[in-house]
Structure 1
Amino acid sequence: MSRRDQIVMTTDEVAAFLEQERVANVASMGPGGRPHLAPLWYLPEGPVLRTWTYGSSQKVKNLLRLPQATVLVEAGGSYEELRGVSMECDVEVVEDGERVAAIGADLMVRYSGNPEVAASASQFVRVQAAKRVGLVFTPTKVVSWDHRKLGGGY
């Protein structure tokens, strides 16, 4: 008997999980047809994730060629603690400097935990934004699991 239905996260649980976790593993298709995997910090907005990265990176080259990715956010150190969200996504590559800088500023707030630190780093963000692009991941399919719902059983 499959217990799959018992471990699926609700929409609210997925949103809370994405808000809590810090690193998304992003898989795009490399030029040779193999997945290219890269960890990224991200900004959750419901199921949509925003981030930025260097415009010259392999993942950006891949996403310009095929704007689709699979994104995995996971947690847990043992089987009964495993939680995760896997999303097949359409990807928007953002090249507008103002939008890229806004993503960078929002990332600074989220990962520094302090809006004042982020504000003092605004010049750094602007300089970085000139070298970067934004990435917006919009899910077309979401799969989730939370093994804690099984109460330690298998």
Structure 2
Amino acid sequence: MSDQSPTTDELARRVGEAKFVSLVTYKRDGSAVGAPMWVAQDGPDLVAWTPTEAWKVKRVRRDPRVVLIRSGRAGKVDPVEPSLLGTAVVEDAPETVARVEQLMRRKYGLEFILITTIEAVVARGRKPRVVLRMSPQQVESKGV
């Protein structure tokens, strides 16, 4: 990365292209909770497809602030990686959930099929899903 911070649009594109992203949401006491997620770009927004009953969904319903940081599979982030600050909303319209599922299927391919199949077997069926639609608002750069 160059010495110059990326613009919000540039970082949103890079986060949207990343294989894994740490999605930070906030508990009632204000403490941050990060979780590795798959995300896809949907126009100017980033979207995630996640189980309806996930804690991150409950936290977003109460506090829409989110932070997205490119990460590894386990959610580990580089300490100098810029953060994308934004707000999220939960969308549960069946057509939106199905469309975002297709975005994820296209982006992640065979990995998507394998992971969702394993999840369905472990859960003894598919869990209901919602979409987290995240609107980027600003970049927070970190110094070395």
Q: Residue in 1 aligned with 2:52?
A: 55
Out of 11, 14, 37, the residue aligned to residue 11 of structure 2 is 14
Distance in structure 2 (CA, Å) of the matches to 1:29 and 1:11: 21
1:43 to 40, 45, 58: 40
TM-score, normalised by the number of residues in structure 1: 0.66
Q: Distance in 2 between matches of 1:35 and 1:82?
A: 16
Query: What is the distance in 2 between the residues matched to 1:12 and 1:90?
Result: 15
1:32–1:15 Cα change, 3 Å: closer
1:1-154 counterparts in 2 under 5 A?
6-9=3-6, 13-14=10-11, 17-45=14-42, 48-74=45-71, 84-112=81-109, 128=126, 131-143=128-140
**How far, CA to CA, are the matches of 1:16 and 1:69 in structure 2?**
16
Distance 1:10 1:68 in 2: 19
One-letter code aligned to 1:104 = E
**Could you tell me how far apart the structure 1 residues matched to 2:64 and 2:4 are?**
30
When residues 83 and 109 of structure 1 are mapped into structure 2, their CA distance, relative to the original with a 3 A threshold, is: farther
Gaps of 5+ in 1: 76-80, 148-153
Structure 2 counterpart of 1:49, one-letter code: L
1:150 aligns with none
- Partner SS for 2:81: strand
Q: 2: distance between equivalents of 1:74 and 1:134?
A: 20
Name the SS of the counterpart of 1:6 in structure 2.
coil
Count of equivalent residues: 128
TM-score by length of 2: 0.70
Contact 1:14 1:47 in 2 (8 A): no
Tell me, what secondary structure is at the counterpart of 1:9? coil
Cα distance in 2 between the residues matched to 1:45 and 1:83: 26
Matched AA of 1:55: T
Following the alignment from structure 2 to structure 1, what is the Cα–Cα distance between the partners of residues 92 and 24?
Answer: 20
- Cα RMSD (Å) of the superposition? 3.3
Q: 2: distance between equivalents of 1:85 and 1:47?
A: 18
Query: Structure 2 stretches of 5 or more lacking a match?
Result: 73-77
Greater alpha carbon shift after TM alignment, 63-72 vs 8-17: 8-17
Off by >4 Å, runs of 4+ in structure 1: 10-13
